[in-house]
Amino acid sequence: MGADPDGAPVGRRVVLGLLGLGALGVVAGSKVQQGLSELLAPIQLRDPTGFTSLVPLGNTWRYYSVTGAVAPRDATSYALKVSGLVERPTTYALADLEALPQLSFTDTFQCVTGWHVPDVPWTGVRLSDLLDRAAPTDAAVGVRMRSFDGVYSVNMTLDQARADDVVVALAMYGKPVTHDHGGPVRIYSGSMYGYKSTKWLSEIEVTATNDPGYWEDRGYPLDGFIGE
């Protein structure tokens, strides 16, 4: 632990400096905090100690990755597989997803650990559209959403995955989803806590059972509905 893939771990001096900046953010208000939060993104992704979570950020984004740094994918290297118990397994390129009907809505992003970000605009393809196109078989019960970080996954029941507010998100704030937010493609589920929204989405597998994923194996509820 401690060493990042590029070499140096986040040092004590950096962390102490950031704590000072965080205090400044509290005084200066949310504009500065948003800027700080973006500045911290690459450090948070490489900070396995969690020290940067001590910085008081207010209602701004944290940037989570259970695997540390993730190798980026772009329009040429990205692919999304829809697999498992379906009549029509399909692999989508980014352009294929962009060509499908898009749903846009604004919603509060809520992490189960307590932080939230109000009024986040999302645009994406409804997961139910992709499932309809794939045609789940009668044996289908669950949907597993995997990440190209190679580790993260999350399950929903087929019914939960078909809800109106579950999207395969291509844009946030009117721009392509950034790498730090799990781009080029991530899940967003409006009714559920953030851990149900797989970043760096690479596969949607329709399954016969609704199995626990990464955080559910570590104690988070299998039904991730906000407020339950």
Ligand X SMILES: Nc1nc2c(c(=O)[nH]1)N[C@H]1C(S)=C(S)[C@@H](COP(=O)(O)O)O[C@H]1N2
Closest to Mo ion by CB, 152 or 195:
195
Stretch binding ligand X (CB under 6 A), from 88-96, 97-105, 160-168, 196-204: 196-204
Nearer to ligand X, 85 or 215 (CB): 215
Q: Which residue is nearest to Mo ion (CB)?
A: 111
**Beta carbons of 207 and 143 less than 8 angstroms apart:** yes
What's the first-to-final CA gap in the chain, in angstroms? Answer: 34
Residue 34 CB, shortest distance to ligand X, in Å, is 13
Helices (H), 29-106: 30-45, 94-98
Q: Residues near 124 by Cβ (< 8 Å), separated by ≥ 6?
A: 102, 103, 167, 168, 169, 170, 171, 185, 188
- Give 78 or 85: the residue with its C-beta nearer to ligand X: 78
Mask for 62-91, x = binds ligand X (CB under 6 A): xxxxx-------------------------
- Asked if residue 122 binds ligand X (CB under 6 A), the reply is no
CB atoms within 10 A of CB 5: 10
What whole-number distance in Å separates Cα of residue 154 and Cα of residue 189? 11
Helix (H) / strand (E) containing 164: none
Give me the least distance between CB of 115 and Mo ion, in Å please. Answer: 8
Which distant-in-sequence residues (6+ apart) come within 8 Å of 179 by Cβ?
Answer: 70, 72
User: Which of 36, 97, 199, 206 lies at the binding interface for ligand X (CB under 6 A)?
Assistant: 199
Listed residue (194, 196, 189) closest to 153, CA to CA: 196
Give me the least distance between CB of 48 and Mo ion, in Å please.
Answer: 16
Q: Among residue numbers 133 through 192, which ones bind ligand X (CB under 6 A)?
A: 147, 149, 152, 181-182
With binding defined as CB under 6 A, does residue 198 bind ligand X? yes
Q: List residues binding ligand X (CB under 6 A).
A: 61-66, 111, 147, 149, 152, 181-182, 194-195, 197-200
